Amino acid sequence: MVVFLPLDFCVRRHFDLLNGLGLDIGLTFVVGAVLQAVSLPESNYLFAMSGWSKYGIHKGLFLWPSIWVALTVFSFGLEQALNANFAALGLYPGQLSGAWHILTFPLVHGDFNHLFSNTVSLFFVGTLLRYSFPKIFDRVWTLAFLLPGIGLWFIGRPNFHIGASAWLYALVSFIFFSGILRFHVKLLAQSMLMVFLYGSFVWGVMPHDPTISWEGHLSGAITGLFLALYYRKIEPIEALRDEPIQHEEVTWEDWKDPMEREVDYEEVKGVHHRPSKPQSTQQFRYEDGSAPDEWV
């Protein structure tokens, strides 16, 4: 509705101008605007980048994380409204007939707490990824969605696995290792933020709770590591770029006591000058023309 009203207004204005002035104005503008909006090279997922793009601030910053949150909430709400159980849409490892559930199991959650924790975390981490690496966001976002499920299908226990935790582990792992591999100060700050917020994730990759899909967590963490290694040469936005931290080499002499260091003497050669004649000064004389040293 929001898009239809401006388009309808432009079309009506086009015919008004066409009838009144005989000018082909309006429809060309509308068609050009639509083509500009849906042109993938010119815009990023239907949202054109603004002048703040070098700072990562643009209109499409929250688009895909918001779409995922909306789909997940809709799926959970539909399940509750129908009083159904969507656990059958979870991924059952090793079952060929249910291999396509790789696409559905991240959308299914057991309860509201499971849904809330995953949606909030994925929205935040996805937005941070979109902000930091806009050039490769679509690839990392998609691969982090698919690859953990493929790995889970091979190594998971024979049971239905649900939830977006594997996807979340892949994104957190990617952001963490991206800062470590590039060794940039600002990206390292994001890595430390992941440790501060999701440091407990390290326990999620270990088989400590039979009700938790630690195999999915492990598959997601490995996926994030490999994606960070593969895209390690892709730089982030300009606002996050920084010169790599370089360690200056310290010589052994710099560690010694100042009195024990060897002193290098530099030979200074002077420039030979010819002796100049003393400048003659005018002798003082009295009014009669005699000088003091002439007195006898």
pLDDT, tens only, 80-109: 999 888 988 999 999 998 899 999 999 999
| Cα–Cα distance, 254 to 257 (Å, whole number) | 8
Whether the predicted pLDDT of 236 surpasses 70: yes
Rounded to 5 degrees, what are φ and ψ at 178? Answer: -65, -40
Whether the predicted pLDDT of 222 surpasses 60: yes
Lowest mean pLDDT among 27-36, 199-208, 231-240, 248-257: 27-36
| Cα–Cα distance, 246 to 249 (Å, whole number) | 9
Lowest mean pLDDT among 26-30, 66-70, 202-206, 234-238: 26-30
**In the chain, % of residues over pLDDT 70:** 61
Q: What is the mean pLDDT of residues 63-79?
A: 91
What is the model's pLDDT at position 281?
57
Residues contacting 159, CB < 8 A, separation 6+: 92, 93
Lowest mean pLDDT among 164-173, 240-249, 253-262: 240-249
Whether the predicted pLDDT of 251 surpasses 60: yes
What is the model's pLDDT at position 185?
85
Q: What is the mean pLDDT of residues 38-44?
A: 39
| Cα–Cα distance, 162 to 93 (Å, whole number) | 11
Higher pLDDT, residue 4 or 237: 237
Residue-range domains of the chain with CATH: 1-38 (no CATH), 51-240 (1.20.1540.10)
User: Whole-prediction pTM value?
Assistant: 0.64
**In the chain, % of residues over pLDDT 90:** 36
162-197 per-position pLDDT tens digit: 999 999 999 999 999 999 998 888 888 888 989 888
What is the model's pLDDT at position 278?
57
Q: At what angle do helices 165-182 and 185-198 cross, to 10 degrees?
A: 150
Q: What is the mean pLDDT of residues 263-275?
A: 58
Count, residues in the chain = 296
Cβ-contact 203, 147 below 8 angstroms: no
Max distance between CA atoms of the chain, in angstroms, equals: 139
